[in-house]
Amino acid sequence: MPGFSTNAIHAGQEPDPVTGAVTMPIHPSSTFKQDGVGGLRGGYEYSRSANPTRTALQECLAALEGGRHAVAFGSGMGASDVLLRAILAPGDHVVIPHDAYGGTFRLIDKVFAGWGVTYTPVDLGDVAALRAALSPRTKLVWSETPTNPLLGIADIAVIAQVAHTAGALLVVDNTFASPYLQQPLALGADVVLHSTTKYVGGHSDVVGGAIVTSDDALAEKIAFLQNATGQVPGPFDAWLTLRGVKTLAVRMERHCDNAERIAEMLTAHPAVERVLYPGLPDHPGHEIAAKQMRRFGGMVSFTLKGGQEAARRVCAATELFTLAESLGGVESLIELPAAMTHMSVAGSELEVPDSLVRLSVGIEDVEDLVEDLRAALAQA
Ligand SMILES: *Cc1c(COP(=O)(O)O)cnc(C)c1O
């Protein structure tokens, strides 16, 4: 088996047999010539159903997650929508993390609930709470680990077993960890979901999503639904994502180095109330994260003693950390979840602390990042 970076650079990306091009070409063609009726060359017919650039990305992502099948989408939410349709029917129940990604919560609460799907938010770090939430109608446990934005950790091997005992599937949204830091299928998960917009693409220049699974029947259903509903990424988007993923391992190492250093600095800072980073020994999920992740990731959240006003001042004062939503790119970002990414969960059980600041620590020189944050924290 080739190593992670060998797969990132080569899986699904053989040099072009006609021209010898070393990088995967962008194939914008919407349709493909048939040699006689039904005589397809290489299986391509129409680009909603399949496209060679998209196929290359899918093969690469499947190899990186250690799955048999990957399906790429135009966004992480497009992938989530198709995955939920593939697994759930009216009357079914799903367990979601109590601090689920806001868009996932909105999709289930505002779209699927209208079709008769019920849900229970649970702290998946609490296995007894998960067991209590399961019923014969539960078809799916949706998990994120680390979670967004509280960086909670769930034990994937344990929750997979609990879900399976109840006859439910386990999906892991692996966006925060990336396949470099964590491979949920090997730990017992049935499906991995990505917003490839984040670490996989890694350069904040493309929106995309993916589903990876080794379940043949489920993969077939997902491909059918994708073609039936038309939720496909364009070939240029697939190509940009493929270009980004080649450097995933080196980028993640640097994200982790920088995040560890910033978490230490914040922990010692007098304006900071609490630092949430799974790499810190006092984080409640630290030991589980150490067991199932290669390192602890590039996301760091913290609360301020001065409440939301202080948090707003810090977010407004950084210069290198750009005030923006999203995460996982080479550049450092700062945001206030309660007023930005997680507005859609305000007033629900998923509400986040109002002084919480979330950092997506980029791969700039860490001394510059530390200095920028120190200067901003002086305004807290
Ligand atoms: C961004 C994100 C999504 C949604 O992905 P899009 O590409 O924005 O549609 C889902 N889950 C997590 C954890 C995310 O961060």
CATH of the domain at 240: 3.40.640.10
Residues 29 and 16 placed together within one structural domain of the fold: yes
Sheet holding 191-195, edge to edge: 69-73, 209-213, 191-195, 169-173, 138-144, 93-97, 118-122
| Whether residue 101 lies in the annotated active site | yes
Domain count along the chain: 2
Contact criterion met (CB below 8 Å) for 199 and 252: yes
Q: How far apart are CA 376 and CA 318, in angstroms?
A: 5
| Whether residue 216 lies in the annotated active site | no
Residues 234 and 260 placed together within one structural domain of the fold: no
Mutate to test the pocket of ligand 1, among 83, 104, 105, 195 (most ligand atoms within 8 A of CB): 195
Q: State the distance from the centre of ligand 1 to the C-alpha of 141, rounded, in angstroms.
A: 17
Q: State the distance from the centre of ligand 1 to the C-alpha of 15, rounded, in angstroms.
A: 32
Q: What is the pLDDT along the chain (380 residues), one digit of tens a residue?
A: 899 999 999 999 999 988 999 999 999 999 999 998 888 888 899 999 999 999 999 999 999 999 999 999 999 999 999 999 999 999 999 999 998 888 999 999 999 999 999 999 999 999 999 999 999 999 999 999 999 889 999 999 999 999 999 999 999 999 999 999 999 999 999 999 999 999 999 999 999 999 999 999 999 999 999 999 999 999 999 999 999 999 999 999 999 999 999 999 999 999 999 999 999 999 999 999 999 999 999 999 999 999 999 999 999 999 999 999 999 999 999 999 989 877 766 777 667 899 999 999 999 999 999 999 999 999 99
Residues with CB under 6 A from ligand 1: 75-77, 101, 103-104, 144, 148, 173, 175-176, 195, 197-198, 207, 209
pLDDT for 348: 73
Catalytic residue among 81, 92, 99, 173: 173
Residue 253: other Cβ atoms inside 10 A: 16
Phi and psi based region of residue 251 (left: phi greater than 0; alpha: psi -120 to 50; beta: remaining): alpha
pLDDT for 261: 98
- Residue 70 has phi, psi (to 5 degrees) of -135, 145
Range of the domain at 310: 249-377
| Whether residue 190 lies in the annotated active site | no
Residues 156 and 235 placed together within one structural domain of the fold: yes
Which of 226, 245, 264 is the C-terminal boundary of a domain?
245
pLDDT for 290: 98
Residues 277 and 200 placed together within one structural domain of the fold: no
Residues 255 and 162 placed together within one structural domain of the fold: no
| Whether residue 109 lies in the annotated active site | no
Residues 34 and 114 placed together within one structural domain of the fold: yes
Residue 357: other Cβ atoms inside 10 A: 30
Q: By alpha-carbon position, which residue is closest to atom 8 of ligand 1?
A: 76
Which of 212, 229, 245 is the C-terminal boundary of a domain?
245
Which of 209, 224, 245 is the C-terminal boundary of a domain?
245
Q: State the distance from the centre of ligand 1 to the C-alpha of 21, rounded, in angstroms.
A: 33
Mutate to test the pocket of ligand 1, among 99, 145, 148, 352 (most ligand atoms within 8 A of CB): 148
CA distances from 266 to 33, 306, 363, 369 (A): 59, 15, 18, 12
Q: Which ligand 1 atom is nearest residue 196's CA?
A: 7
Q: By alpha-carbon position, which residue is closest to atom 7 of ligand 1?
A: 76
Residues 125 and 229 placed together within one structural domain of the fold: yes
Q: By alpha-carbon position, which residue is closest to atom 6 of ligand 1?
A: 76
Residues 241 and 253 placed together within one structural domain of the fold: no
Q: State the distance from the centre of ligand 1 to the C-alpha of 47, rounded, in angstroms.
A: 24
Question: CATH number of the domain that 297 lies in?
Answer: 3.90.1150.10
CA distances from 41 to 28, 33, 51, 223 (A): 16, 8, 12, 20
Residues 215 and 276 placed together within one structural domain of the fold: no
Q: By alpha-carbon position, which residue is closest to atom 5 of ligand 1?
A: 76
Q: How far apart are CA 54 and CA 74, in angstroms?
A: 11
Q: State the distance from the centre of ligand 1 to the C-alpha of 199, rounded, in angstroms.
A: 11
Q: State the distance from the centre of ligand 1 to the C-alpha of 35, rounded, in angstroms.
A: 41
Residues 259 and 239 placed together within one structural domain of the fold: no
> Which helix (H) or strand (E) segment is 309 a member of?
helix 307-317
Residues 140 and 70 placed together within one structural domain of the fold: yes
Q: What is the three-class DSSP state of 52?
A: helix
Residues 191 and 55 placed together within one structural domain of the fold: yes
Q: By alpha-carbon position, which residue is closest to atom 2 of ligand 1?
A: 195
